[in-house]
Structure 1
Amino acid sequence: MKRRAFLKFATMASASALAAPYVHAQSKKFSGITLRMNGFGGLWDETIIKTVVGPLEERTGMKIQFTPGSQSTELVKLIASRENPPYDIFQADSAYMVELLKNDLIEEFSERDIPSVKRILPGFQEYGNFGIPFAVSSVVPVYNSESVKQPLTSYSDIARPDLVGQVVLPAPTFDTTSLYLLGIAEENGGSISNMEPAYNVLADAKPNIVALAQATVAQLQMFQNQEASAGIFWDGRAYELRSKGVPMVTVVPPQGIYSINNYVTIVKGTKHPEAIHEFAEQFLSDKSMLGLPAAFRYAATTDVKLPDEYRQDLLYNSPERLSLRKNIDWNKWIADRNERIERVNKVLRS
């Protein structure tokens, strides 16, 4: 072969080799698309990036841009910029879903758009096809088994006389962490429309309560530093304490468990609804669905098979446990927020 012909052939072969991965990359369905999504920060976002975003980008070419922040702050931004929304996907818990729907900020989807929603277990789609639930966290009684010798069994046990100076509770400010008040009310003959029994128990518990924690991290530190040994806390955070060597026991109240779902929603005005449907499909896949249970031991929302090492720490790990999940009228609960805050403050300051 003449040198000129050989060089021409080598050049063409080299160009073909270089072009192959480029063509492959360009063939990915959503290459060039970046979806914007609010985040919660820390290990939560890291887990979603690792188990959902990474595989999705590898498979489809789609990218996800996270903006960590509080739900309340990001919701205000979304409301203020509804004509040019800052997000395509919005993460929200059960309570914030009420605000999203009230302000007409999110789109409904169908099973045709996201076929894997068929795998979501009954009871988790609190708002029908508005929002895809992907994780479940519960507000439950907890106690340090080294410091508290008699196990807690209910929300109302925070008033037991043997717990003087040992209890820390979430402040009543938030609609989610304050669900324990509803648990106490219903354990004592009350209801969401009759919270008086909860305030009576809270009055009895007053000598026990060392603090009302304004943030989850503050409460976690109190348990970790042994400034408190019992109270009401997130099930996933109790697992975090156990993983750090604190013998914090999660209690399953026999009369019911009060939980919230975390959702991803489709923001109205997004230019990429099909890409969001693909994102949701990835989130509902087995590999992605196991991410948050692995990191936090928060419950999954689908029929995914749970490894035994997760099951022992998951609150909802059987049909029997799932049957204890209480339905919550979120509209009513949110509407009564200010009254609850006022009553709790009055009881504990009197």
Structure 2
Amino acid sequence: MKRRAFLKLVTSTAAAALAAPYVQAQSKKFAGITLRVNGYGGLYDEALRKSVAVPLEEKFGLKVQFIAGTTQADLVKLIANKNSPPFDLFMADSSYMVELLKAGVVDEIKAADVPSIARILPGFREFGDYGVPFSVASVVPVYNSKYITQPLTSYSDIARADLKGRVIIPTADQIASSLYLLGIAEENGGSISNMEPAFKVLSAARPNIVALAQTNVAEVQMFQNEEGYAGIFWDGRAHELRTKGVPVATVVPPKGIYSTTSYLNLVKGMKYAEAAHAYAEQLLSDQGMLGVPEALRYGVTTDVKLPDELRKDLLFNSPERSSLKAKIDWEKLWGARSAWIEKVNTTIRS
């Protein structure tokens, strides 16, 4: 090799070596930033950590801290500390979105800032430009096929005569888990403004109801211990029971499936909007979108292609199935929650 060519090669190599740390530093555009997100705890947070937080740190140097708690308590904390918010991003399901918007503690998230918003399926973004929907959970009828030979087909079937002393339902304390009441009402000619048909069915089901589950964990244990063979539960939790060897079948009510969607929100006053938008973009990416369903089998909200082994386990796994997702007036529902709780307790315990 000629001396001039050799020197040119050495110079180029040295320059590239010197430039490498600079290029690397430039690629880590969010290094030194930590986003604080309220968490749901357990497998849910771990799924988001693997599919969203880890890739963001690897790509941008952005760190994400999940702070596990309950949505209700975290919402109170956020509203009480508007001037110094304890979170940068806030996760909440559809029912809590009503309170978030009323309190004015979250900002809009535009498609111009998060291009993958364009991938969200019709009907899954319920609050205009507020919140990015990333997971959907449905309250559905379930039954143990080992003991129930006649499959349930609707929410109203919890009142069937052959289910005496065999039904487990959630308490009405949480509006999301009591969506089945709206399902029963609308199956019987009622509506969110006319819930009497639901409470008539619930009254008829009273001899069947063996337990009101206070928590999801408690209901899982009840089904595992065969304290009941049918009832109302979350679709993801029904999958969990199947993985534990309990043959719990999930029912698809033909008149509509009642679901709540989890949203990611940008907290008003947070300092790192660009980093927050990067989080939302990763959340809606194929990798981010599949994290929660792979761990817990809750549904997706975008046009992501579902692997075959995942598709068979998800409730919303086709356009036809997605069209069954019932439209819900969350503001009206939130306003009626106290009356629902009182009426359910009176009906069951009278």
TM-score (ref. length: structure 2): 0.93
Which residue is 1:199 aligned to? 199
CA drift of 1:27 comes to 3.9
- 1:270-328 deviations in Å (ceiling 9; x for gaps): 10001101111111110111111111111110000001101111100111111111011
Q: Give 4+ residue runs of structure 1 displaced > 6 Å after superposition.
A: 16-19
Which residue is 1:9 aligned to? none
Matched, 1:238 2:238: yes
Q: Any conservation in 1 of the 2:109–2:132 contact (CA below 8 Å)?
A: no
CA drift of 1:19 comes to 9.3
Q: Any conservation in 1 of the 2:27–2:59 contact (CA below 8 Å)?
A: no
Which residue is 2:173 aligned to? 173
Amino acid at match of 1:66: F
Which residue is 2:10 aligned to? none
Amino acid at match of 2:172: P
Partners in 1 of 2:38 and 2:345 — Cα distance?
33
Mapping of residues 63-82 of structure 1, within 5 Å: 63-82=63-82
Which residue is 1:225 aligned to? 225
Partners in 2 of 1:348 and 1:48 — Cα distance?
38
Partners in 1 of 2:141 and 2:111 — Cα distance?
37
Calculate the aligned-residue CA RMSD, in Å. 1.6
Partners in 2 of 1:311 and 1:165 — Cα distance?
34
Amino acid at match of 1:140: V
Mapping of residues 290-305 of structure 1, within 5 Å: 290-305=290-305
Which residue is 2:9 aligned to? none
Mapping of residues 54-133 of structure 1, within 5 Å: 54-133=54-133
Partners in 1 of 2:262 and 2:27 — Cα distance?
33
3-state SS in 2 of match to 1:341: helix
Partners in 2 of 1:64 and 1:325 — Cα distance?
32
Partners in 2 of 1:18 and 1:259 — Cα distance?
54
Which residue is 2:306 aligned to? 306
Which residue is 1:7 aligned to? none
Unaligned runs of 5+ in 1: 1-12
Tell me how many residue pairs correspond in the alignment: 337
After superposition, the Cα gap between the structure-2 partners of 1:202 and 1:24, relative to the gap in structure 1 and judged at 3 Å, is same
- 1:179-221 deviations in Å (ceiling 9; x for gaps): 0000001111111011001111111111110111111111111
Which residue is 1:349 aligned to? 349
Partners in 2 of 1:109 and 1:249 — Cα distance?
38
**Percent of residue pairs bearing the same amino acid type:** 63
TM-score (ref. length: structure 1): 0.93
